């Protein structure tokens, strides 16, 4: 079972991916935050930078496309293929209100018939293999039964399932029964995503679904960047975490304003990293910092000297661990 690093828009960009890969071994693939094709059928400079493989080869990167227009999808997929990629992913999982209101991401799950027509068009002319990432419905988990036969009709390279509805966002338990149903009826490889916060979670998943092609870890990797390394090697290296923090800061500072851009990015990162700290009041001290010159020394001190919890405490974000069948 392979272990991939899930994308988070605005956080897991190229700088973070490359620094992370240099500090923490074991990640099989990094997923790029979704790109939305522009009306002029050209990639923006930011999109081109994200798509350039750099030190990570194309085989270790998965580009995602977010659109409701089959023609836009096919154009973007062909352009991505020309860059050397051998797979493109259709994003049907983004729960953002703005995205969903435009009928993109999880918004495409609203009408199974329309989704079927969309998939028919893109698979009929696909320039390279297509994988799909999805939720199990828009409003209610019962919608999953109508979506399963739609997916089953197409040669999907791999289906990544986050077993929550769009309405649930990231709250509450995942619907393990929905994933079990997918594993029982779908003919192609499945990847699991959702509430994988510890090596024990990953081990339980693998025991429950031994034929699974892989898992995707997102928020768990933000809280503990060594999580996949620990799943494979069993140890957390504090020195590697300190190095990751310092090198990422250096990359950001080389091209962005410390207070206007780098500080907000690091505060978002520390919203998750702070879940390893035993006292959440330490995060509150960081959050109150108004200047990078105040924030960064405090963050470095915490990384170097504060005791870590054995596992990140996701209860602070009102999350609950998944419960997999034996």
pTM of the model: 0.94
pLDDT value for 323: 45
Q: Which among 205, 200, 203, 204 has a CA at the least distance from the CA of 190?
A: 205
What string of pLDDT tens digits covers the 326 residues of the chain? Answer: 999 999 998 899 999 999 999 999 999 999 999 999 988 899 999 999 999 999 999 999 999 999 999 999 999 999 999 999 999 999 999 999 999 999 999 999 999 999 999 999 999 999 999 999 999 999 999 999 999 999 999 999 999 999 999 999 998 889 999 999 999 999 999 999 999 999 999 999 999 999 999 999 999 999 999 999 999 998 899 999 999 999 999 999 999 999 999 999 999 999 999 999 999 899 999 999 999 999 999 999 999 999 999 999 998 875 434 444 43
Q: Which among 152, 144, 74, 138 has a CA at the least distance from the CA of 110?
A: 138
pLDDT value for 322: 43
User: What CA–CA distances, in Å, run from 276 to 172, 193, 227, 236, 280?
Assistant: 21, 21, 12, 12, 9
Rounded to whole angstroms, the Cα distance separating 1 from 211 reads 8
Rounded to whole angstroms, the Cα distance separating 245 from 15 reads 12
């Amino acid at each position: 079972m392979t272990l991939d690093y899930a994308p988070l828009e605005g956080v897991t960009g190229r700088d973070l991916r490359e620094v992370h890969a240099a500090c923490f071994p074991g990640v099989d693939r990094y997923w790029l935050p979704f790109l939305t094709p522009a009306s002029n059928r050209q990639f923006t400079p930011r999109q081109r930078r994200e798509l350039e493989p750099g030190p990570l080869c194309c085989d270790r990167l998965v580009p995602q496309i977010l659109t409701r227009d089959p023609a836009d999808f096919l154009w973007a997929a062909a352009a991505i293929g020309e860059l050397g990629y051998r797979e493109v992913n259709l994003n049907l999982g983004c729960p953002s209100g703005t995205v969903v209101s435009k009928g993109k991401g999880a918004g495409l799950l609203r009408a199974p018939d329309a989704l079927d027509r969309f998939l028919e068009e893109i698979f009929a002319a696909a320039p390279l293999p297509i994988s799909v990432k999805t939720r199990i419905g828009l409003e209610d988990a019962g919608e999953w039964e109508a979506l399963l036969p739609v997916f089953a009709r197409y040669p999907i390279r791999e289906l990544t399932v986050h077993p929550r509805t769009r309405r649930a966002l990231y709250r509450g338990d995942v619907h393990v029964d929905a994933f079990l149903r997918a594993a029982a009826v779908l003919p192609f490889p499945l990847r699991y995503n959702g509430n994988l916060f510890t090596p024990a979670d990953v081990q339980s998943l693998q025991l429950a679904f031994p034929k699974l092609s892989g898992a995707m870890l997102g928020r768990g990797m933000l809280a503990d960047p060594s999580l996949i390394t620990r799943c494979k090697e069993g140890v957390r290296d504090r020195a590697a975490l300190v190095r990751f923090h310092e090198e990422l800061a250096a990359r950001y500072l080389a091209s962005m304003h410390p207070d206007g851009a780098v500080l907000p990015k690091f505060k978002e990162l520390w919203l998750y990293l702070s879940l390893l700290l035993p006292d959440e009041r330490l995060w509150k001290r960081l959050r109150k910092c108004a200047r990078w010159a105040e924030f960064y020394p405090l963050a470095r001190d915490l990384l170097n000297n504060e005791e870590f919890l054995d596992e990140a405490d996701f209860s602070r974000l009102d999350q609950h661990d998944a419960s997999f069948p034996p």
